[in-house]
Amino acid sequence: MSYFLSKEESNFYEDEGYLVRENQFSINEVNALRHALERAVNKAQEKSSGGKAYYLDKKKFVDVDYMTLQYEPQSEDNILKVIEPAHFLDKELYSLTQDTRITDPVRSILEEDEISLWTDKLNLKRPGRGSGFGWHQDSPYWVHDSNNVDLLPNVYLSLDNADENNGCFRVIRASHKEGCLPGTSNGTQLGGFYTDPNYFNEADAVDFNIKAGSLVFFNQHIVHGSGPNLSDQQRRAYIITYQPKDQPMLKSGMVNNIN
Ligand SMILES: O=C(O)CCC(=O)C(=O)O
């Protein structure tokens, strides 16, 4: 079975900068992936004591084993917000990076049969604690490390049902067309990574009220973000980013071609 994009889907992705494919993974598969995610979280927490901690805008980060851990702000009990990358923490996450439901559409987007992994991250957004992600593009984070910044499509796999209450993923439709946009200049350390609101229109936001097991493919230049999780439900996701074959991964510099 193959999962390449239809012409219509490819055109939609090109025009809008994103594409949703709902219910691609069964609830049994999602449950197994949730376990894999929680195993990865435990491993990352164990490793974190051997890493290097630092603070940006009072937010805690730890670098360990080619991995960056980001913690929830104002959380005294060290709640993890993001683990990047996570594929080497658990074999099920690693296998997922090779799953054709994810990689065939990416091959269509890149118009390449052979692709490699760029990066991947677990976004954990815990009930009542998980903070949001301000509007930003991914490309300004990557432009200095990649020779292919126009060729880094993302895939968001929703591991919980999501809506505005638990901080569903959102994009600004068609905001990917101008490449890297200017960042805000509010004097903070991370401010430059948030997109200047003069360069997009929040009225063009698309909220992904999607079920666990659904996929959102999105362009590395699209402006995206999400609100906090104020609910009592989890809102976990795995985001995987690809590139053409034989290219080094973001953090480790190793090459991880997809079979
Ligand atoms: O998980 C989310 O809701 C947003 C994630 C995001 O913006 C990112 O990881 O760049």
Q: Is 250 within a domain?
A: no
pLDDT of residue 74: 77
User: CB within 8 A of 134, min separation 6: which ones?
Assistant: 194, 225
Q: Is 253 within a domain?
A: no
Q: Is 210 within a domain?
A: yes
pLDDT of residue 207: 98
pLDDT > 80? residue 188: yes
Give the Å distances, CA to CA, from 46 to 43, 54, 76, 89, 130: 5, 17, 17, 11, 21
Asked if residue 137 has its Cβ within 6 Å of ligand 1, the reply is no
Judge contact between 9 and 199, C-beta under 8 A: no
Q: Give, using CA atoms, the residue closest to atom 7 of ligand 1.
A: 225
Q: Give, using CA atoms, the residue closest to atom 4 of ligand 1.
A: 225
Task: Express each pLDDT in 85-131 by its tens digit.
Answer: 999 999 999 999 999 999 999 999 999 999 999 999 999 999 998 99
Asked if residue 237 has its Cβ within 6 Å of ligand 1, the reply is yes
224 or 187: which leads in pLDDT: 224
d(CA 92, CA 47): 19
CA of 122 relative to ligand 1 center, distance in Å = 9
CA of 24 relative to ligand 1 center, distance in Å = 20
CA of 160 relative to ligand 1 center, distance in Å = 14
Q: Give, using CA atoms, the residue closest to atom 5 of ligand 1.
A: 225
Kindly state the average pLDDT of the residues 166-194. Answer: 96
pLDDT of residue 76: 74
Task: Express each pLDDT in 14-33 by its tens digit.
Answer: 999 999 999 999 999 999 99
Kindly state the average pLDDT of the residues 206-214. Answer: 98
Q: Is 30 within a domain?
A: yes
Q: Which of 38-42, 70-74, 102-106, 246-250 has the lowest mean pLDDT?
A: 70-74
Asked if residue 120 has its Cβ within 6 Å of ligand 1, the reply is no
Q: Is 252 within a domain?
A: no
pLDDT of residue 100: 98
Give the Å distances, CA to CA, from 212 to 30, 87, 135, 151, 248: 7, 20, 23, 27, 31
CA of 237 relative to ligand 1 center, distance in Å = 9
Asked if residue 133 has its Cβ within 6 Å of ligand 1, the reply is yes
Q: Give, using CA atoms, the residue closest to atom 2 of ligand 1.
A: 169
Q: How confident is the model at residue 70 (pLDDT cuts 50, 70, 90)?
A: very high
Asked if residue 138 has its Cβ within 6 Å of ligand 1, the reply is yes
pLDDT of residue 216: 99
CA of 17 relative to ligand 1 center, distance in Å = 15
Residue 161: CATH number of its domain = 2.60.120.620
Q: Is 118 within a domain?
A: yes
**How high does pLDDT run on average in the chain?**
97
Asked if residue 208 has its Cβ within 6 Å of ligand 1, the reply is no
Pocket test for ligand 1, best of 68, 125, 139, 169 (most atoms within 8 A of CB): 169
Q: What's the total number of domains in the chain?
A: 1
Q: Is 254 within a domain?
A: no
Kindly state the average pLDDT of the residues 133-156. Answer: 97
Kindly state the average pLDDT of the residues 196-221. Answer: 98
Q: Which domain holds residue 41?
A: 7-244
pLDDT of residue 230: 95
156 or 74: which leads in pLDDT: 156
Q: Is 70 within a domain?
A: yes
pLDDT of residue 259: 85
pLDDT of residue 120: 98
pLDDT of residue 77: 76
Kindly state the average pLDDT of the residues 70-87. Answer: 91
